[in-house]
Amino acid sequence: MRRNELLPVKSKAVLITGCDSGFGHALAKLLSEMGVKVFAGVLDVNGAGAQRLRERGSENLQVLQLDVTDCSQIETAHQFICTQVRHTGLWGLVNNAGILHCPEDTELQPLSVCRRCMEVNFLAAVNMCQVFLPLLRRSRGCIVNVSSLAGEVPMPMFAAYGASKAALNVFSKVLRVELSVWRVKVAVIQPAAFRTSTFGNSDDIGHYRDEILTALSSEAREDYGEAYISSLSSSLSRMSQQSAEDLSPVVDQMCHALLSVHPRPLYTPGQMGWLLPFLHRHCPTAMFDFIIMTFLRHTECKLTGLGRS
């Protein structure tokens, strides 16, 4: 990303959600170093990620408590930002906060997980856009929604997560057309696999396993086998290890979407970011299904009742 392709940052303010770690954390640091006024929304204002941001001591970086599913916290953040940006408005809104549950067969996925994915990954972004759009119209700024490759390509084991990101994709496209009359831009960042905290920790993995087993019917437990079901939670750790550790390709493109003179409607950072969607669009269905099943097959153990591997 060449800096001479970017707009001046003077008087520009950006709100980023999900800054505790990962893309949001890195973007907040980069933008504040460039001179952008950053409001970094975090799930835990007393957590380690929030503390690391505050330790930078940047006058351009303000850490805000912001659970994107909590309307009262959103309103508090909105009122505070209004007092800070006044007549200049808010230049950018980055809907980065998101969750990824344990990869699992759709039949095994608790309905509560589907609801939680839709609430955090989709509905929260809709609400954030509606609340902050008056400030964005004032500056003729931009919205950047962070989606996922799973939102465009059907990935086995990611039904709820993929559906929530697909909903975000369609919402973003409609919003882009509607807001063009206001000269407010909308961009989608659709990363491939990068190593962030969405993969969870050991406590999350244990919780996921217990949640699946508790919600499961006796028939599904017998058909799939408890050994297979218990092994699913370990796939998060394996996926994390196989994902790219360098977040800069994503963060650079998020920055480009916010500050470029001519931002693109879609950014696809990562090695598979363009390849899998290309194959999905152009391969015969049976061929693509074989490719994606081979690529994402969970082979740690076999299903007992049906003999499936």
Show which residues are catalytic: 161
CA torsion sign for 88, 146, 273, 246 is positive
The vertex-221 CA angle with 216 and 223, nearest 5°, equals 135
- Rounded (10°) CA dihedral 227, 196, 136, 56: 140
Q: Is 304 helix (H, G, I), strand (E, B) or coil?
A: coil
Whole-number Å distance between alpha carbons of 186 and 240 = 29
Whole-number Å distance between alpha carbons of 295 and 125 = 30
Whole-number Å distance between alpha carbons of 226 and 304 = 9
Whole-number Å distance between alpha carbons of 45 and 65 = 5
Whole-number Å distance between alpha carbons of 159 and 114 = 8
What are the structure tokens assigned to 40, written together?
């970094």
